[in-house]
Amino acid sequence: QSVLTQPPSASGTPGQRVIISCSGSSSNLGSNAVNWYQQLPGTAPRLLIYGHNQRPSGVPDRFSGSKSGTSASLAISGLQSADEADYFCAAWDDSLNYVFGPGTKVTVL
Amino acid sequence: QLQLQESGPGPLKPSETLSLICTVSGDSISSAYYWAWIRQPPGKGLEWIGNFYYTGTSYYNPSLKSRVTISVDTSKNQLSLKLNSVTAADTAIYYCARQSLRSLGGFLDFWGQGTLVPVSS
């Protein structure tokens, strides 16, 4: 059972904006940066957002992150079929364990 | 461009020891990053196993700590993972990745392609 919680699924039509939530506690999201990963089917995860809202080189600005207190969210604007993937939030926990959320499967309708 | 490649023995039987190697190219394993192992059971989520800094500092997932050893060979630019007494529950795709310092958020910015390790009698 994950210490971070995410909805199991989210969906939208092309062009829509989808928001994925990630909820934690004071020992993880409340005191450490949140990172987001995208995993396309059959591939390794890829870093999407780090430090709450920073994008690595090559990640489109359609992806954005935010954090408030012990919750974080990932927004995907202008949803595309290529965005169909699993999305995981993650953060250090004060128990010195790096924890992942269970993942949210995004479907483009 | 940084690349990581996992390699390992293939299928294991319960109680055996899982041993994996991650070969790093395009960066020194002695750089200012941790090097981590993450696993993913088929069809399930990600689980961080632990990481290692070339000076010897390491962190492990408390749920696996008693069975795991992570080390680096700086001369070969390789990261290794040993997991003792495996069971079917250890069947997973095992990934190695570069991990930033905790003070920077601990993000995993480069990943290997992963290697599937089945455990079955």
What is residue A74's predicted lDDT score, i.e. its pLDDT? Answer: 98
What is residue A72's predicted lDDT score, i.e. its pLDDT? Answer: 97
- Place A93 in a pLDDT band, splitting at 50, 70 and 90: very high
What is the Cα–Cα distance from B14 to B5, expressed in whole angstroms? 25
What is residue A2's predicted lDDT score, i.e. its pLDDT? Answer: 85
What is the Cα–Cα distance from B113 to B82, expressed in whole angstroms? 19
- Kindly tell me if the per-residue pLDDT of B89 is higher than 80: yes
- Place A18 in a pLDDT band, splitting at 50, 70 and 90: very high
Interval B85-90 mean pLDDT: 97
Residue B112, both tokens? 């290997």
Interval B36-65 mean pLDDT: 96
Q: Is the CA virtual torsion A18, A32, B105, B110 positive or negative?
A: negative
Which residue in A45, A92, A96 is closest to B111 by CB distance?
Answer: A45
What is residue A30's predicted lDDT score, i.e. its pLDDT? Answer: 95
What is the Cα–Cα distance from B14 to B86, expressed in whole angstroms? 5
- Which residues 6+ apart lie within 8 Å of B34 measured at CB? B51, B52, B53, B59, B98, B99, B100, B101, B106
Interval B74-87 mean pLDDT: 96
- Kindly tell me if the per-residue pLDDT of A1 is higher than 80: no
The Cα of B43 is separated from the nearest Cα of chain A by a number of Å equal to: 10
- Place B32 in a pLDDT band, splitting at 50, 70 and 90: confident
Greatest alpha-carbon pair distance for chain B in Å reads 43
What is residue B38's predicted lDDT score, i.e. its pLDDT? Answer: 98
What is the Cα–Cα distance from A49 to A56, expressed in whole angstroms? 7
- Contacts with A9 from chain B: Cβ below 8 Å: none
- Asked whether the beta carbons of residue A33 and residue B104 sit closer than 8 angstroms, the reply is yes
Dihedral (Cα; A77, A80, A83, A87), 10-degree rounding: 30
Residue B88: DSSP 8-state: G
- Kindly tell me if the per-residue pLDDT of B65 is higher than 80: yes
Question: Which is more confident, A103 or B8?
Answer: A103
Q: Which of B40, B44, B107 is the best residue to mutate to test the A interface, defined by the most A CB atoms within 10 Å of its own CB?
A: B107
Using a CB–CB cutoff of 8 Å, tell me whether A99 touches chain B.
yes
What is residue B101's predicted lDDT score, i.e. its pLDDT? Answer: 87
Using a CB–CB cutoff of 8 Å, tell me whether A44 touches chain B.
yes
What is the Cα–Cα distance from B51 to B61, expressed in whole angstroms? 9
Give A36-87 pLDDT, tens digit per residue. Answer: 999 999 999 999 999 989 999 999 999 999 999 999 999 999 999 999 999 9
C-alpha angle with apex B58: A50 to A6, nearest 5 degrees? 35
Which residue in A32, A50, A98 is closest to B48 by CB distance?
Answer: A98
Which residue in A44, A91, A95 is closest to B112 by CB distance?
Answer: A44
